[in-house]
Amino acid sequence: MNACVQTITDYGLRAVGIGKRLLPREDFTLCEQFTLIGSGMIWNVYFGILALIAGFGFATLLALGKASNIKVIRKPSEWFIFLFRGSPLFIQFFFGYFLFLKLKTVFPIFAPFTAAWLGALVVLFFNTSAYTAEIFYGALRSIPKGDVEAADAYGLSGWSRFKRVIWPTMLRLAWPAYTNEAIFLFHATTLVFFSGFPAWQQRGDALYYASYFADKTFNPFIPYPILAGYFILLTLCVIGLFSIVNRRLNRHLPANTRERLRIRPNLIR
């Protein structure tokens, strides 16, 4: 028991570089595997949350752009969404990494982008923006005609119509799909250290450590289920948070017409 507490103090924050420098090399205990994989989850949560928050704003703009009547705005938004939804995230990571490497030699300001904490975050941010924008765009198009007409009848227009009617309705309609997107994004964060981005000083995410243990012990039956367990917990947290928001977005509707969150996790993007 005490040994396990010691392991947790040694490796609990290993993924961000605090604690023992060397990873365990032999005689892996269950405790070590739980601690290190859990420590790697810090990165998954970090990437997921930041990309989600930043992507939300950008996605709203992109969705409005795609729904716009002005061609100069619509075309770039459409292309951006197609570019990031039409190609594998894995390739995007690789391309982003090598692009940043190249840019670094010309502009030194891009140096931090070649590290995972910023470079991968940027790629994830663009990616989730594109997927979310498509969801929001679909929701924008399915806003009931009556809602917008009612807003017009009240004399709302422009910004106030958007803020009070269109945007909340769009969010309400998009929310179930957006929840899935969020779960999906957290799952996608595991790809970061398997693409070009190096895990500097073996500071990696949960999957990085899980595959470290699987490689060293030749036994996939322990680390991967641990990883899956952590991810199920994370997914449950995400679902919990999002359903609170969902309830708030739907609070004006009669109880029997409220849309329940349907969780449909997807696999790979």
Partner 1 sequence: MACYLTTGKHMSIYWSVLTVLLLLGITAPTALAFGFAGASAARSRIAPVSWLGRGYIAVVRGVPDIAFFLFFVIALDQIIEATRHHILCPDWVEPIRQGSDFVVCQAAKMPLGNAPQWVHESYGFAIAVFTFAIVFGAFAANVIQGAMAAVPRGQIETGESYGMTSRQTFWRILVPQMWVYALPGLSNLWMVLIKATPLLFLLGIQDIVYWARELGGIKTSRFTDYPHGDWRMWYFLALLVFYLIFTRVSEITLERLMARLTRGQATTAGEAQRKAGTT
User: What tokens were used for 248?
Assistant: 């708030």
Distance of closest approach, residue 48 Cβ to partner 1, in angstroms: 12
Distance of closest approach, residue 223 Cβ to partner 1, in angstroms: 9
Q: Which CB atom, from 150 or from 236, has the smaller least distance to partner 1?
A: 236
Q: Which CB atom, from 88 or from 198, has the smaller least distance to partner 1?
A: 88
Distance of closest approach, residue 222 Cβ to partner 1, in angstroms: 11
Q: Which CB atom, from 60 or from 190, has the smaller least distance to partner 1?
A: 190
If DSSP codes are grouped into helix, strand and coil, which group holds residue 154? Answer: coil
Q: Which CB atom, from 226 or from 249, has the smaller least distance to partner 1?
A: 226
Distance of closest approach, residue 79 Cβ to partner 1, in angstroms: 10
- One-letter amino acid for residue 258 of the chain: R
Distance, CA of 220 to CA of 218 (rounded, Å): 6
Distance, CA of 62 to CA of 126 (rounded, Å): 11
If DSSP codes are grouped into helix, strand and coil, which group holds residue 132? Answer: helix
Alpha helices in the chain (DSSP H): 2-11, 30-66, 71-86, 89-106, 116-141, 145-153, 158-161, 167-188, 206-217, 223-249
If DSSP codes are grouped into helix, strand and coil, which group holds residue 169? Answer: helix
User: What tokens were used for 80?
Assistant: 């951006």
Q: Which CB atom, from 89 or from 151, has the smaller least distance to partner 1?
A: 89
Angle (deg, nearest 10), helices 223-249 and 167-188 = 180
Distance, CA of 134 to CA of 42 (rounded, Å): 28
Distance of closest approach, residue 46 Cβ to partner 1, in angstroms: 17
Residue pair 31/11 in contact by the 8 Å Cβ criterion: no
Residues at the contact surface with partner 1, assessed by CB under 8 A: 26, 28, 82-83, 86-92, 94-95, 98-99, 101-102, 187-188, 190-191, 194, 207, 210-211, 214, 216-221, 224, 227-228, 231-232, 235, 265-269
Distance of closest approach, residue 164 Cβ to partner 1, in angstroms: 33
Q: Which CB atom, from 51 or from 64, has the smaller least distance to partner 1?
A: 51
